Amino acid sequence: MRLRNRPGAMEKLTAHPEYVIQQPETLKGKWRGNFNNDNPVHIEIGTGKGQFIIETAKQNPHVNFVGIELQTSVLLSVLEKQLEEELPNLLLLQADAANLQEYFEEGEVGRIYLNFSDPWPKNRHEKRRLTYKTFLTTYEKVLADDGEIIFKTDNQGLFEYSLVSFSEYGAKLEDVKLDLHHSDVEDNVMTEYEEKFSKKGNRIYRAIIGFEN
């Protein structure tokens, strides 16, 4: 999800510390306390414009959500939605997924959402794919023992690559849908991208992944 650079995006993000975390490393191991409850913490890596995490947070008030996005202009779109909704269980973080262990303690996260990640189709860019083994190592460390990854994409090549990556890593493929929108799943929340491309007839793939304790 790429947007044109929006002038003043960073300034607008920093102007709302009630929703956009400025020093996430200070919250490592303390995210529940920052939400003032003991509810589980779920994160989305790559928020897009925020449709998914806003709606998911609305539907699950007893879960704490953290939306993580690297691009400031994209995250600003999420913040604008959050300023309208004022959801108490949603915080935003401008950060690189490779640095998750700097922000979350081992076992602190209950679920990770990877929605329509950049497929990085060229072989030389394999290490940038969010389902590459080094990312899986990071996810495993921050996830609780019963934690899981929910991965969705419309890119068949990325999905096939990811299934192999999960398997070779030793992760558990708990559920695989080769055509999500024509499956028995009833609680799927769509992203903007998913909505747009599924209307064009694109098949949506989904996998739920856990790790051996």
Average pLDDT of the chain is 95
- What is the number of other CB atoms lying within 10 angstroms of the CB of residue 17? 10
What burial letters (b/e) apply to 75-88, b meaning 16+ CB within 10 Å?
A: bbbbbebbeeeebe
Q: Which of 38, 118, 154, 187 is catalytic?
A: 118
Residues 48-66: what's their mean pLDDT?
Answer: 97
Query: What pLDDT does 212 receive?
Result: 80
Residues 79-83: what's their mean pLDDT?
Answer: 97
The pTM score is 0.95
Residues 104-122: what's their mean pLDDT?
Answer: 97
Length of the chain: 213
Query: What pLDDT does 7 receive?
Result: 75
CA–CA distances in Å: residue 80 to residues 4, 92, 94, 101, 198: 16, 11, 14, 27, 25
Q: For residue 3, is pLDDT > 70?
A: no
Residue 45 DSSP SS3: strand
Residue 211 DSSP SS3: coil
Query: What pLDDT does 9 receive?
Result: 87
pLDDT (tens digit, 9 = 90+) per residue, 121-142?
999 999 999 999 999 999 999 9
Residues 164-176: what's their mean pLDDT?
Answer: 96
Whether residue 38 lies in the annotated active site: no
Q: For residue 6, is pLDDT > 90?
A: no
| Exposed / middle / buried, residue 147 (Cβ in 10 Å: 0-12, 13-18, 19+) | buried
